[in-house]
Amino acid sequence: MKAIILNENGGTDKLIYSTSHPEPEIKPNEVLVNIKATSINRADLVIRGGYPGLALKFPHILGGDITGIVSKTGSDVKNFKVGDRVLSWSIVSESDNYWSRSGKAGQSPDWQYFGMHRAGSYAEYAAVPESSLIKLPDNVSFEEAACLPVAGLTAYHAVKTVGEVQKGDKFFIWGGTSGLGIIAIQLAKLLGAEVFATAGYDHKIEHLKKLGVDHIFNHRDGLAIDDEILKITQGMGIDVILDYVGPEAFPKNFKMVKKGGKILFCGILTGREAMVSLHQTYLRHISLLGLYLGEKRELEDLVKMVSEGKIKPHVGAAFELKDAAKAHEMMAKGEVIGKIVLIP
């Protein structure tokens, strides 16, 4: 089958295109998905480069977004058949333990992520346990679906579940035109929040306007965004901040968050460590909350919202699978609006 193979960690030159990689063998509880679209995530760039403590089993296939058509089913599979349009939760979590019984299977210590712990989606086929699969409505394209398992689900989990954004809340996100940001903004607007967001290019600022963002800031023009937001909110600050930037943004987050507000972390673009003022945290009742991805039921709800036209993923660029290196380079530059999709 066609696949992008990683034989060692490193730069984009380590992404090797093969037309003869072995097709995955499925277990009785798995289906073989003929992948029709996948997308690039920041995690792919981090994993490709080498993440401390993560030992990949080479050759490795990156990619956490699996969507396509069932081409084969294992003997124990009951709810899916050949020809079904499907989308996969990016997580495999099948243990019967405290987390699964609490509805938090995605947080189980033995969770596995496609493209990290398992072979991922940069390929023509992927083996997926039935327990991770979702049926994809006919009116949701494979390209749109490829925007949902990682970026879309993280946005949903952050805004609705962890952030608990409510009508009238002030919601802020750095980099609002990312695949995650576009969905997070739409969700926050649907929930009745007043939305604040940043972008670094004129074409991205125009896109934020189209999304209905209430307050837009260019994070490249030297403006003290935290001070501006405190002026706009008359010193009150932001109820919920969503940050995947990391340490570079942390002091500003801390300054502009409302007393009793939440700062949500789901990324480390500028590093893994930040200084925290503990006494200011408890004196201001600030909640610092980390998160990744979300649960399968949340992804099912998000797919339903896309099918009903309430949420619209944005595909900013599409490449053939063989051009995965170009797609990685494009993501690293940060100039694309929305998701970058690969077509096997």
The CATH number that applies at residue 259 is 3.40.50.720
Q: Domain for residue 64, yes or no?
A: yes
Q: Are residues 252 and 323 in the same domain?
A: no
Which residues, at least 6 apart from 304, have a Cβ–Cβ distance to it below 8 Å? Answer: none
Q: Domain for residue 308, yes or no?
A: no
Q: How many domains does the chain have?
A: 2
Start-to-end Cα distance in the chain: 10
For residue 344, the SS3 value is coil
226, two tokens: 């935290």
In whole angstroms, what is the distance from residue 285 CA to residue 234 CA?
19
Q: Are residues 208 and 88 in the same domain?
A: no
Predicted local distance difference test score (pLDDT) of residue 195: 98
pTM of the full predicted structure?
0.95
Q: Are residues 100 and 126 in the same domain?
A: yes
Q: Are residues 129 and 174 in the same domain?
A: no
Q: pLDDT per position in the chain (344 positions), as tens?
A: 999 999 999 999 999 999 999 999 999 999 999 999 999 999 999 999 998 888 899 999 999 999 999 999 999 999 999 999 999 999 999 888 998 998 898 999 999 999 999 999 999 999 999 999 999 999 999 999 999 999 999 999 999 999 999 999 999 999 999 999 999 999 999 999 999 999 988 999 999 999 999 999 998 876 789 999 999 999 999 999 999 877 777 888 899 999 999 999 988 766 777 777 777 788 889 999 999 999 999 999 999 999 999 999 999 999 999 999 999 999 999 889 999 999 99
Predicted local distance difference test score (pLDDT) of residue 16: 98
Between strands 238-243 and 170-173, the pairing is parallel
Q: Are residues 174 and 86 in the same domain?
A: no
Q: Are residues 201 and 103 in the same domain?
A: no
Q: Domain for residue 297, yes or no?
A: no
In whole angstroms, what is the distance from residue 217 CA to residue 219 CA?
6
Q: Containing domain of residue 232, as a range?
A: 152-290
Predicted local distance difference test score (pLDDT) of residue 308: 98
